[in-house]
Structure 1
Amino acid sequence: MAGKPKPMSQIKQMIILRQQGNGIKTIARMLDMSKNTVKSYLFKLDKLLENNRKTGLTTKKLLSMEDPEVEKLFLSGDPSYKDPRYEHFIANLPYYQKELKRKGVTKTLLWEEYRESYPEGYGRSQFCYHLGQQEVARAKPSMVLDHKPAEKLYIDFAGKPICYIDRETGEEIRCQLFVACLPYSDYAFAMAVPSQTIPDFLHVLGCCMEQLGGVPQLLVPDNLKAAVNKADKYEPGINRALEDFANHYGTAVVPARARKPQDKALVENQVKVLYSRVYAKLRNVQFFDIHSLNRAIAEKVKAHNQTRMQQKPYCREERFLADEKHLLGKLPGERFELRHYAELTVAKNNHVYLSRDKHYYSVPYSLIGQKVKVVYTRSMLYVFHKGERVAIHGRGFQQGPYSTLKEHLCSQHQHYRDRSPAYYRDKAAQYSNTFAKYIALIFKQDRYPEQLYRTCDGLLALARKVDEQRLDKACNIAMEYNQYSYGFIKNMLENNMTEATTEASGKELPKHGNVRGRTYYNEQR
């Protein structure tokens, strides 16, 4: 029985032929066995029946047993494990396992040392075989996970970079290949990005959602820095940017355990498959920008998803479209914008300074000296105080200037910023048309605007103190004499010259020939 064991079905045939009274030669001829093999099995049968007579084992019962049960009786144990060499090997096994963990130690090296200390021991192949069997026996069992459609999206980056060539310099630009898959259908997505930084990671993750046409319930990334701040087996610290992304898309993030790639084994397998279906097929093609590279990657991944899977009557794309796509969550109306956060103090000029932009943004003047929280995206900036949004600005990327909203300023500063000829004309029109006409004539003078603004401020202050009729009279007299100044109007009003002028103009001059009249003096002036 030193050869390969015979099938138990043949052993049962042998038992039946023996019951029928056939001899060893006849049985050997009918079953195409050697006489010694038949003799060995019949001897083994007799010994089994004799040793198990107390337990009630009979030939009839033996024939009714299943083949594995019969095999256990006839082939109980491997003789090699009763070999003294094996006992010596097992005694030294802890030492071998410990040494294999040391750098540079191989199974061949251990075998050479083993043969030096035990020359009659195993050969190299048997030694390595038994070491391998012990590793398999001590390995932890793997679990088959039951995946639900549209529940999870596994995320990973390939270990090998993928490259394109800079057309101008000829330099090879190395890119990272982002890989994701839905475990239920094994539907894959892949795209090259410049790096694994947070902006690139969230950009490619958004592109993946758009390609899928929906949002899964959970995102399962690796413990890369763009996704996890602090790796922990039970409570990993999710990057705030990824949390914002998940909130925007209405999903949750559950990172894989640190150094546990089996938590997302399907995407790890996708990476291995894409090495042959993307990397290998594009190895002889040159690309001169990342966009053309990604178009080629998309074509190869599409072909991969449409390839019929082994031992299954469908491809990944068919299963995804039939059972999964319609269960994905709805995409938001707008793409995600990466948010940044800062806590700043409002300066005396009621602005906050964002050092990243080197730009000033206004907030309500009532918050001067207080702390505010600033949230800014690529295009917008939001200011919050005690949970309430108090300001919104478009991002200003010019260094130094101010972005100021009028309503954030106090009344004095608003007045100062609003000054213009139109502003003063409108203010004067609230008192009288004559006053508005006088203000308009002031701005027709060839003088510096700041001086005219101050003149108008003084005139408006006078207008608030006198009645409309007196003001109009003073303005008419000033326009008559082409006097456009605050001091002229002020003197007339303080000295009641408007009334005196009216009374004097009412008296008639005596009639005589030496009268030159108003026209003459106007011409002289």
Structure 2
Amino acid sequence: MADYGAIMALVLEHRSYSEIVETVGCSRREISLVKKTVHAHSITAAQAAGMNREQLERLFPDGRKNVSAGFAQPDFPGIVRSMKSNRHYTLQQAWHRYLQLIGVPGKKYGYTQFCQLFNDYAATHEVVATLHHEPGRAMLVDWAGDTLALQDALTGQVTKAYLFVAVLPYSGMVFCRGFTDMKQPAWNSAHVKAFEAFGGSSQIVVPDNAATATNRHSQGDGTRIVNASYRRLADHYGTAVVPARSNHPRDKAAAESAVNVVNKRVIGYLAEELWLTLDELNAAIEERVVEINEKIRRVDGSTRYERFTQEEADLLQPLPAEQFDSVEWKQLKVGRNYHVSADYQHYSAPYTLAGRILKVRLTSLKVTIFDGESVLCEHPRKHGRKGQYSTLPEHVPAQHRDVAGLWSRNWFLERARGFGPATVEVIEMLLDRAAIEAQAYLDCQNILMGLGKRNRTRLEAACQQVVNQHGYPTYTTLKRVMAGLNSDSQQAAAPSPVPSDMKKKTAPPSPEDEPLQVFVRGADYYGEGR
């Protein structure tokens, strides 16, 4: 019970509400009650000073005293200490612990009454201000701190998927979606998807002070402004961006709570599975979010979806006829492979423009390439795994169009003919030797595209040498033979017949043959002095 005697004395001294609250530690509601009572009974300062406890209780009866006497009283000071030491500690956790108290006589308060009593305690002890959310007013947004892994099916490369979280704090309705980065296009696209999922836009959007939301006026200036791209999105949907204050996490406590739920109910369930595409991952995320919104019942027995449809959905602002799409312009050079590269993805242009710098417009759905003011072509925007190609057939030169039979026997033999007949023979030997022809494809590729990439003449010479020696061609053998050649221009010797190992039979001399002349030195030749 408040110290009404002290409050009355300060009221009669004409002190302000703030001074009385600071001095006595009461609520403004109690000060207002004392003022009304003093005015109604024309109480003077002398009368107030002479009042005893019984008189004060008659003037200010505590209607809750008899009712609360039969209830076990919560330990609100202990709850405040837990909240200060553990930022994840919630009133719901405190209420569950209160229900589990053993050996404390009396009934237990329900969750609603428990929260009301805590709010009264917080107001009189200046603990925290409770945020009361209005339906349809705000949408709180943030990135979840944890990520999920995406593994490319072809290369095995692992990348991160970042989860965007939005929540309507009144109903608690949650939205979540994965993206491959946290850049401005992903941030804007995430808001668009969230508005579409909720079926409308809120009056305000509350982000933190990330670079995708706000910028500083100038270096060293503490004030921040909403960046241009984000502001255009807000204008399109008729909403206002109101960033949370720095170092005030309670401004977006509902978003922190939603991130907590996503970490446990989405990431906790999906982190141990293998995800090959972002679409596959988002489908799984959507299933988990449906469970959060529609199947999990809260303390009051309702689900987030039920409260959203009954009390909040109709108060959201209708969506505009056209979806917002952010636009980004770039000056990009056409590479030797007649593609421009944007955000690690590749889009073709006419091969005759290789080396030119072209103007490119990027949206979340399309990539449009301009030559001056003329539109050259449009591609669907690539998302997900880095290094994907979008190639239009008319952009490909004639010599690159015939790719039928890629990675086949004919394909490898056709490329081997560009080196020479010995290389063709070696490739044929490799293909014929394999029990399953496709097992030799990788060896063929390593020889032609590896060893022969910058040493065509030397590879042909090495293949000729292996053929001459009736060797067993392998990548390692050819590499060793190539290393032994003196120069790239050295050619292997033409094949020569192997000498016979049979001894030739000679016919006996005939009498008609001339006698063989033999000269033998005499003994005097070897005498002393010679």
TM-score strictly above 0.5: no
Larger Rg, first or second structure (1 or 2): 1
**Greater relative contact order, per chain length (Cα 8 Å cut-off, separation 6+):** 2
Q: TM-score, normalised by structure 1?
A: 0.40
